[in-house]
Structure 1
Amino acid sequence: MFHKMHQKATILVAPSLTNSSCTHPRYLQITFFSALTPGDVVQAVIVLFITIGVLGANMLLILVINSRKYSKYIHSQPRYLLTSLASNDFAMGLFVTPFAIIPSLRHCWPYGELVCQIQALLRGAISQQSAVILICMAMDRYLCMLYPARYHKHSSKKGCVALISMTWIMSVTLFSILVLPHSGFYFNSTGMVACEPFYNRASTRILVACGFYFPTTMILMYCYGSAFHVNKLRLKKTSRGDILTNNQLEHVTPSTHIEKLMTQERRLSTTASRTMAAMSLGFIVLVTPWTIQEVVAACTGTRAPPSLDFLATWLALSNSFWNPFLYWLLNNHFRRVSREILFNKFSCKNGPESKQRDCFQSFQHQPHCCSNMDGVSGHTQGCDFDGLSEKYWGEILERTLSSSSLHALQRTYVHPCMETCNGIQEMRVFDTTTPDL
């Protein structure tokens, strides 16, 4: 018994980075092309595409949600949280993943010990900070949908920035303690194909993996599940005929007016909550294989096969790309503003001023869903795809995170074109007071 306990408490030693450096004699004797295999090329291409996708998608997300055109569709608090998450993912694509391209081809570390140490620190701190931001987003949506009056009264920009700063400092401090010692990092030639934090005890490795995954998953599932469940109960009490038009607003009392506006804003905030819930669900799906692998490897004292280790690790890292992609896929306003910004930047900026003005005006006068509501043409001019996909993706997501029956989908079905246009009209009613979340 004592011998087994002694084995569990064994302190591990990190592999020497000198033996994995590209300046080591055993790597100098091997030419680059002679040691290259098709598997190495595939790995390098995967790393390259993930890096480009992470940088491009998160840059677009940061630019759009902080633009003036999109400011009326989102409150400052979720905007700061989304910007922080996108900034973390952008930093991951800028300072971590690109350094794995050359090592995936040469199977050695060419950048030196200091770069390896910094990369290991950022790898751990950014991942942990992103998980904390997802928790903050889930709690923000929970409070907004369950206690909207208190949420709008007590939400603060300074408090949100202070919370983000504090969590970032805590994440960096934690991994600085783990990584900054000389034996706190190593070159992982099979999974990350770059430098990662090294834990001298198996228990520490299990604790870090479980602390990163399980609390985050439980909080996300509870917050979004409770929020969607309560929102469903509230929507059942309000019929579809309660949606106001501009003409109806003139004939309601002030108390009814406020109540209707709160109902409308609750409906519109559901879209933002679905989008953030989808990002959280993507985190759970993508990180689960990596967490299982870490726990099994630490418990058994073995290593996973190189191909499986690589796929599990980079599947988890690809979460930095899927976050903005899911936000684009499930948010109709974000897609529209993104198209406008990209169209203005790349299509209307070239040429004389008169041509730019005509180009911008032609884009503004393109037919939209609401311009064809008098007939069936609105359904056949492309608007149905955006509304339909957003509607049903949201329904699938809510059924994943909360309990509801199949009959709820039939009772709440509305023509997607009508729902999208109603959402735009409703938002315009209280655009100057409380924008959509």
Structure 2
Amino acid sequence: MTSALLQNEEAQYCFENINGSCYKTSWSSGIRITLYVVLGFLTILTLGGNLMVMISIAYFKQLHSPTVILLASLACADFCLGLTVLPFSSIRSVETCWYFGETFCRFHSSLKLSFCYSSIFHLCFISVDRYVAVTDPLIYPLKFTVPVSGMFIAVAWIFSLVYSFSVVFTGANDKGIHELVNALSCVGSCQLVFNKTWVVVSSLLYFIPFFTVIALYSKIFTVAKQQARMIEMMSNNTQPSGNYSDRVRKRERKATKTLGIAVIAFLVCWLPFFINVIIDTFLDFITPPLLFDIVVWFTYSNSAINPLIYSLFYPWFRKAMKVIVSCKMLQLDCSTMNLFTE
């Protein structure tokens, strides 16, 4: 059955004239075309969806709030992943070879790690923002301003870039395991190996925000549920002047719920990758390349999921998309239009 799926795997190498070249898995034409179509569609969906989010938030003045600006920066991380990482990863996955050199392999891997950590730090900061918005709505406008969001964004990007590039380009990731790296490596591969120390550190940078987000959203949903009951109990005695406040609270809770779905999607998509990396490191890298590639692409898919979540649960995003797609923003000054129906 294996020979029917693969064509002369044992006779093909990534670089025929180079000693130590990796073996190349030569898929049939049908499989190669299908893979390119699927991975290309995922890349285009990632680029298009996140570009739409960034344009919407940048153009419509009503969306210039601290939370939504954090969303724009998160979309920027996903867009950059689709622009700089996914095209090269697609070629590597289909051709089963890396043709772009060792230096660019490290650069490519550093970008991938940077965008991953930038995303989870953004989501962690968003969960803090939502926690204050729901639990202490009177203080929230004073504590979380646009400059504060800008500070959070700067921390997320600077730390992610500095950490990822410093670890990878200094060679700290494989220090002490050079013999194992040499035994596993071949010309035409691009899979960085991390020693136990840096796997633990990198995993903590994922799991600490992971549990922080889970704890904050658990508290958020408990408080939101209590507030919903209080509003329902007082609905018969609510004065007309209080209707606006109730609508704002309802919108905040709905935004929190939508962002919670986005957070859960991120955690679910990235959790298998970090679990696999930890297992691999402590069991001498036993994961088959094909399975590891599937896990990696499962993490990449998260960058295409967020815009879909926004389009499903955010009416303002659907309205903004209609304006942008219909090119009305080129004909009329729509930047000040009301996107909130409530």
Q: Same fold (TM over 0.5)?
A: yes
SS of corresponding position for 1:108: coil
User: Could you tell me how far 1:332 is from its partner in structure 2?
Assistant: 1.8
Q: Which residue of 2 aligns with 1:157?
A: 146
Match of 1:264 among 236, 247, 250: 247
> What is the total number of aligned residue pairs between the two structures?
314
Q: Secondary structure at the match of 2:245?
A: helix
Q: TM-score, normalised by structure 1?
A: 0.64
Letter of the structure 1 residue corresponding to residue 40 of structure 2 = L
The aligned amino acid for 2:78 is D
Residue in 1 aligned with 2:214?
Answer: 221
Aligned to 1:278: 261
Structure 2 CA distance for aligned equivalents of residues 114 and 230 of structure 1: 50
Q: 1:42 to 1:328 in 2, by over 3 A?
A: same
Cα deviation for residue 231 of structure 1 reads: 1.4
Within 1, Cα distance between the matches of 2:287 and 2:141?
A: 49
Q: 1:117·1:180 contact (CA, 8 Å) conserved in 2?
A: yes
**1:299 is aligned to 2:277:** no
CA distance in 2, matches of 1:149, 1:24: 69
Q: Runs of 5+ in structure 2 lacking a partner?
A: 1-12, 175-180, 335-339
Residue 398 (structure 1) aligns with: none
The structural deviation recorded for 1:35 is 3.5
Percent identity over the alignment is 23
Partner of 2:18: 25
- 1:89 matched to which residue of 2? 78
Alignment of 1:306-345 (within 5 A): 306-344=289-327
Query: Structure 1 residues 49-58 or 135-144, which shifts more?
Result: 49-58
| Structure-2 residue corresponding to 1:138 | 127
Q: Residue type matched to 2:59 in 1?
A: S
Q: Deviations over 1:96-146 (max 9, x none)?
A: 111123223333222223322211111111111111000001110000010
Alignment root-mean-square deviation, CA: 3.5
- Offset at residue 95 of structure 1 (A): 0.7
Retained in 1: the 8 A contact 2:102–2:190? no
Shift of 1:325: 1.0
| Rounded Cα–Cα distance in structure 2 between residues aligned with 1:123 and 1:84 | 16
The verdict on how the C-alpha distance between 1:150 and 1:234 changes in structure 2, with shifts beyond 3 A counting, is same
Aligned to 2:26: 35
CA shift for structure 1 position 27 = 9.9
The answer to whether the Cα contact below 8 Å between 1:129 and 1:168 also exists between their aligned partners in 2 is yes
Deviation string 1:323-369 (CA, Å, 9 cap, x unpaired) is 11111111122112212321236xx98xxxxxx89xx9xxxxxxxxx
Q: CA deviation at 1:42?
A: 4.3
Paired with 2:67 and 2:278, the residues of 1 have a C-alpha distance of 33
Distance 1:322 1:243, change over 3 A: farther
Bigger Cα Rg: 1
Match of 2:8 in 1: none
| 1:298 Cα deviation after fit | 1.6
Cα shift readout 1:382-421 (whole Å, capped 9, x = no counterpart):
xxxxxxxxxxxxxxxxxxxxxxxxxxxxxxxxxxxxxxxx
Q: Describe the shift of the 1:306–1:329 C-alpha distance in structure 2 as closer, same or farther (beyond 3 A).
A: same
Q: Is 1:50 matched with 2:42?
A: yes
Provide the C-alpha distance between the structure 1 equivalents of 2:213 and 2:138, rounded to a whole number of angstroms.
Answer: 22
1:204 Cα deviation from its structure 2 partner: 2.2
